[in-house]
Structure 1
Amino acid sequence: MTISFDKALGIAQHTVGIRAQRAELIASNIVNADTPHYKARDMDFATAMRNAESNLSSSMARTHDKHFKVTSSVGDGVAYRIPNQPDTGDGNTVDVQMERNLYMKNALEYQSSLQFLGGKFKGLRLAIKGS
């Protein structure tokens, strides 16, 4: 009897990847805070989760070499952030204070996603071992 990790973990496995991608985007914004004409980007978590969920439910197996290869993309939902401060003259839309706050919030959410996923694995291990 085989264990299907997609069924056992559900959508929880994708939250860690989406949080990691968002951390990269926010870190990129912080690094480019002094770059002229740089536009801050962010990821809509709800959109990325909907995309991951639709990819999870519509996964297809290739049964022949001439079939199209279907891959699942976790990310998506990346867009430019609407600036909440006036233009400083260089066209940069990064607010460093806001980016740092978003990065810390995302780090906490990433950690909670890891703990939740760890609990799922602990439950699987308990089911396999018995006690």
Structure 2
Amino acid sequence: MLNRLTDTLNFQTQALTLRSERQRQLASNIANADTPGYQARDMDFARALREATGEVGTPGALATTQRGHMAPLAGARGESGKEYALQSQTSLDNNGVDMDRERASFADNAVKYEATLRFISGSVRTTLDAMKSHNQG
């Protein structure tokens, strides 16, 4: 039981760390909405989580055998696994930030971050309650 809890908490901790990093990226995009030439960045959260937890790809899904064989769907790859977000429309100053998309992504990520925190808290609380009841009875 302890190994299962540890594995679950490790997974959720990785998810929380990645959610935090994504929130930072989205906030940076919003802060640079008026910076000429700035290109919005985002991450493929599901892929980043698989890589962070050491999981192999989804069964039946195509695998990348050589770097650059298949481009990520969300945009072009940047440094350290970050991707450039696809622009929905061009701007005169070549800024790639779509504020509607960034705000929606920021809110969605914040809700998922909070859900992950609640899951971790609930798991710890349940485990502590189980240990208390075992010691008392």
TM-score over 0.5 for the alignment?
yes
Q: What secondary structure is seen at the aligned counterpart in 1 of 2:42? A: strand
Alignment partners' CA distance in 2, 1:102 and 1:110: 12
User: Which segment is superposed worse, 43-52 or 20-29?
Assistant: 43-52
What secondary structure does 1:111 align onto?
helix
* Local SS of the residue matching 1:11: helix
Question: What is residue 127 of structure 2 aligned with on the other side?
Answer: 124
Instruction: Please tell me whether residue 103 in structure 1 is matched to residue 106 in structure 2.
Output: yes
- CA deviations over 1:58-93 (Å, ceiling 9, x no partner): xxxxxxxxxxxxxxxxxx64211111112x121110
Q: How many residues align?
A: 108
The change in CA–CA distance for 1:49 and 1:77 in structure 2 (over 3 A counts) is same
Gapped regions of structure 2 (runs ≥ 5): 56-79
Identify if the C-alpha distance between structure 1 residues 99 and 124 changes in structure 2 by more than 3 Å, giving closer, same or farther: same
> If the length of structure 2 is used for normalisation, what is the TM-score?
0.71
Question: Matched residues, percent identical?
Answer: 37
Deviation at 1:8, TM superposition (A): 5.0
Give structure 1 regions of 4+ aligned residues with deviation exceeding 3 angstroms: 3-6
The TM-score with structure 1 as length reference comes to: 0.74
Code of the aligned partner of 2:101: M
